[in-house]
Each structure stands twice: as structure tokens, then as C-alpha cells.
Structure 1
Amino acid sequence: MKQSLLAKGVLATLAYAFIMSVTSLVAKLVQEEVAVSVLVFWQSVICVLLLLPQQKGYWKRHPINIWKTHFFRSISGFLGFYFFYLAINHIPLVEASMLRACAPLCVPIVVLLIHKIRVPSSRWLPLLLGFIGVALIIKPTPNQFDPWQLVGFLSAVGLALSMVTTRMLSKNVRPKETMTIYFLISACLSLLLSLYDGVSLTLPLHLIPHVMIVGLTLYFAMYLYTLAYGFAPASIVSPVSYIGVVFSGLWGMLIWGHVPDLFAISGMLLIFSSVLLTTYLSSRQV
């Protein structure tokens, strides 16, 4: 029975990783003609329309501190996606995906800042390996540094903040409420940003199916990710989910001819090793 659940967890994670890579791929294609804020607005609206009926009858009153956490979680999640979409416009999809996947490395630092909980000494080695990997991808030298790679890493910071605050909400709020409020706030923020930038929310007719794909795949990817954690522990799900970077790399090579250089490949291997080591240490403490 346990092996069956683990197998389901791995399959759900693989499906999540593949679908999320499709989301990123189509988003990159759409953004050749559509502003980032407009894409984020419509993907948020699609997810809200899917989630609202599922929340019917489940809304309840919350104290102000819960709403503050909701708001902070939503802003950080919005920034995570916004920075990621900005990055994929300017750097290879595989590098942006890998930098975003660094979110687990940022979580201990976020926990330190929010909860004042120090990082255990056993975690410093994987963290150091991970951030060396990030440095290799970003290549912070005067001749090679690309600021858009830093933007890609900022998407990981936003995702890490949303992961920590989602965990805080999980004790009092059902997951679908968290997601519904997140996408509602994301839609409002992207609407304001679009108005500020003076861009139209109207989509070209030929891109409407593509934007629908972005919204629907994002929704189902998040559903599968939640499902995976129900079947298997984080020590299994987290490393397996990194296969999404491989999928993104394949899309990048097939469509744009992007081939990561030696620095980028070395950085990816270091980041993956650090995540494996972190999940191993976490499983020993459970």
C-alpha cells in the first residue's frame, strides 16, 4: 500500500512538472505580443473562475492577522510569478526555471526573517552549495552578468515567501481558500499594473486559446502538486519536481535553440545536489 502511494506521488509530481513546463513555455510565447501584467491578469481570472464555485459554502470569518497573512502571501506569490515571466522574456527558459526552483534554498532565510528561527548548522552546507550554483548560473562578472538572471532569482524569493506564508495559513485556512484569495489579489494587482503601464487588457483573438492554456495548465499543475504531497512526503516530491527543469530545457532547445553553457549546467547540478541533501536531512529529522 505504501509503495502504491509513493508511486502515485511520483507520477503526480512528474505530471505536475511537465504541465508546469508547458505553462512556462506557452507564457513565453504569449509574451511576444502580450504584456506580462496582462497575462498574469488573465491567468488569475481563469483560476478564480475555476476556484470560486469550489469555495461556495466554505467562506468564514477570520481574525485580522489571518487576513494580513493572506495579503502578504498573495503579494509574494504575485511577485514570484511576475518576476519569473519577466525573466523568461530575456533569458533561456531553462535558466529562469532553475533560478525559480531555488525557492527551497531561500525558505530557511525567509523563516529566519519572519519567525526569527535560526538555520540549523546542518543546513549550511546544502545552502552554500545551492547559492554557489545560483552564482554560476547568474555569472556575476562584469563581462557576463545579465541583470535579468537576477530577476529570475527574485522570482524564487517571492515563491519562498509564498511557501512560508502558505504554511502559516494551512493551520487555519483550507487550501482552496488560500488559492482563491491569492488569485483574486493577483488579478487586482496585475490590473492596477496594466492601468499604470497604459496597456490594454484586450487579447489578440489568435492568442486567446494560448492564454486559456496558461490559466488551465497552471490550475491543474497546482492541483497535481497538492495531490502529490498527499501521496508522498516532501523528501520524495521536492527532488522529483526538478525534472521540470529538464522539460524546460528540452522546450528551449527544440523551439529557440538554447543550449546551457558549462557554467549554467554546473550551477544546475549544484542546486539539484543541495536540494537532495536538504530533503535527506529533513527526512532524518522527521
Structure 2
Amino acid sequence: MELALIKKGIYATIAYALIMSVTALAAKIVQQDVAVATLVFWQSILCLAILLPQQTGHWKWHPRSVWKVHFLRSIGGFSGFIFYYYALNHIPLVEASLLRTCAPLCVPFVVLLMHKTRIPLRRWFPLMIGFTGVVLIIQPTPSSINHWHFVGLLSAVGLAFSMVATRALSKSVRSQETIAIYFAVSALLSWLMVLLQGNSLYVPLPLFGWVGVVAMTLYVGMFLYTKAYTYAPASIVSPVSYIGVVFSGIWGWLLWGHIPNSIAFMGMLCIFISILFSARLSRG
């Protein structure tokens, strides 16, 4: 039975990676004329409209400890998307997606911060390989440093918090509740960002179809994401999710002609090896 659940987790992760690559593609197109916070607001509202009817009659009262994890998961997911979307505006799709996929490398540090659990010595080697890969992708030089790569890396930090919190919530909370609360918090925070930045919630009619694509694919993707971490541990799901970089690379190549250089490809390989190595240690 456990093996069957793990297989379901792997299949859900592959589907999640493909669908989320479409989300990123649509978001990159929309953001040519729409502010990031405005897009996040509408995607949250549309997804919330789908989720709330599913939660009718299923809301439960939780202890304060569960609500704290809900809050952490929501803040992590929100910040992860905000940083990711900002990065999409300034660096190629494949590079932004790759940096976001570094979330598993950040998980040990999140666990250290949340649970005061020290990082075992054996885990430092794959972490060093992974972050070496990040440096190869960013390729900083004394005369040229693209700070938007670091913004993309911050999206991985937010996603790492979301991953750890989602796994904790999956033991006692329905996945629909987890996602609904996330989108409610995301809608509120993005609305506040729109006000503070002096932007508008208006979206040109020709682009609203793309906003709908972002929302629908995001809804399906988040559902699969939550299910994947319900079926299988992060040590198995995380390496499989790396296939999303391949999907994003294909979109970037077909639509914008973005092809990473040889050094960036070496960085991708380092990160992939690091995630595989970490997964193997987690199973051991």
C-alpha cells in the first residue's frame, strides 16, 4: 500500500510540474502589462471562488498550533510566488523556474529555523554541490551581478517554508482547507501591495483570459502539489519535481529563444545531483 501511495505521489508531482510550467508561461505573458501584485490578487480570488464551495460543511476548529502552521504555509507560498513572478519579468523562464526548484536545498535550513533541528554533517556535501550549481547559474562577476537571480532564489526560500508546512498540515487538515486559507491570505496581502504601490486592480479584457489560465492551472497545480506531499515524503517528491525545469526550458526556447549557456547547464546538473543525493540520504 505504501508503494502504491508513493507512485501516486510521483505521478502527481510530474503532472504538477507540467501544469505549473504553463502557469509560469501565462504569468510571464500577462506581466508585460499587469503588475505582479494585481496578477497575484486575481489568481487568488479566482482560485478561492473555486475552493470555497468545496469547503462548505468541512470547516473545523483547530488549535492555535495548527493555525500557526497555516499562517506560515500561506506566507511562504505568497512570498514564493511574488518573488518568482518578479524574477520572471527580468530573467529567462528556465532560470527563474530552476532557482525556484532549489527549494529542497533550502528545506534543511527551514527545518533548522522551525524545529531547531541541526543539519547533519552528511547533508552538507549535497548542499554545497547544490549551491555551487546556483552560483554557476547566476554567474556573478565583479562588474556584473544580476540581482534578479537572487530574487528568484528567494522564491525557493518561500517555497521551502510552504513545503515543510504543507507536509505538517497534511496529517490533520483537508488539502482543500490548506489551499483555501492560502489563497485567502494571498488575496489579502496582494490587495494591500496593490494599494501601497499605487497600482490598479484593472486587467485589460484581452489579457483576462490569460489571467484565467494562470488561475485554473494554478488551482490544479496547487491541488496536485498538496496531494503529492500527502502521498509521499518530500525526499521522494522533490527530485521528481525537478522535471518542471525541463518543461519551462522548452517553453522558453520555443517562445523566446532562451537557451542557457554551457556554464548554466553545469549548474543545472549540480543542482539535480544535489537533490538526488539529498533524497537518497533522506531514505537512508
Query: 1:105 & 1:237 partners in 2: Cα distance?
Result: 13
Query: 1:146 & 1:211 partners in 2: Cα distance?
Result: 28
2:173 pairs with 1:173 = yes
Distance 1:92 1:69, change over 3 A: same
8 Å Cα contact 2:179/2:222 also seen in 1: no
Query: 1:30 & 1:177 partners in 2: Cα distance?
Result: 28
Specify the alignment match of 2:21 in structure 1. 21
2:182 pairs with 1:182 = yes
Specify the alignment match of 1:130 in structure 2. 130
Per-residue displacement from partner, 1:218-273 (whole Å, max 9, x unpaired)?
Answer: 11112223444555554543222211101111111111111101221111110000
One-letter amino acid matched to 1:98: L
More displaced, 263-272 or 69-78? 69-78
Specify the alignment match of 2:31 in structure 1. 31
Instruction: Kindly state the Cα deviation for residue 8 of structure 1 after the two structures are TM-superposed.
Output: 4.8
Query: 1:77 & 1:143 partners in 2: Cα distance?
Result: 33
Specify the alignment match of 1:59 in structure 2. 59
One-letter amino acid matched to 2:190: S
Specify the alignment match of 1:203 in structure 2. 203
One-letter amino acid matched to 2:133: G
Identity of aligned residues (%): 62
Query: 2:171 & 2:100 partners in 1: Cα distance?
Result: 26
Query: 1:243 & 1:37 partners in 2: Cα distance?
Result: 27
One-letter amino acid matched to 2:120: P
Specify the alignment match of 1:238 in structure 2. 238
Specify the alignment match of 1:78 in structure 2. 78
Distance 1:64 1:86, change over 3 A: same
8 Å Cα contact 2:175/2:223 also seen in 1: no
Q: Could you tell me the TM-score, scaled by structure 1's length?
A: 0.93
Please show how residues 1-286 of structure 1 align to structure 2 within 5 Å: 8-229=8-229, 234-284=234-284
Query: 2:23 & 2:131 partners in 1: Cα distance?
Result: 26
Distance 1:9 1:157, change over 3 A: closer
Per-residue displacement from partner, 1:189-227 (whole Å, max 9, x unpaired)?
Answer: 000101111111111110111000000001111222344
5+ residue gaps in structure 1?
none
One-letter amino acid matched to 1:193: M
Distance 1:76 1:9, change over 3 A: closer
Paired residues, what number? Answer: 284
Name the Cα RMSD after superposition: 1.9
Query: 2:18 & 2:136 partners in 1: Cα distance?
Result: 25
One-letter amino acid matched to 1:240: V
Instruction: Kindly state the Cα deviation for residue 67 of structure 1 after the two structures are TM-superposed.
Output: 2.4
Per-residue displacement from partner, 1:170-190 (whole Å, max 9, x unpaired)?
Answer: 343222212111100100000
Per-residue displacement from partner, 1:4-23 (whole Å, max 9, x unpaired)?
Answer: 76655444332221111000
Distance 1:10 1:171, change over 3 A: closer
Query: 1:228 & 1:103 partners in 2: Cα distance?
Result: 15
Distance 1:168 1:99, change over 3 A: same
Query: 1:117 & 1:57 partners in 2: Cα distance?
Result: 38
Query: 1:227 & 1:59 partners in 2: Cα distance?
Result: 19
Q: Could you tell me the TM-score, scaled by structure 2's length?
A: 0.93
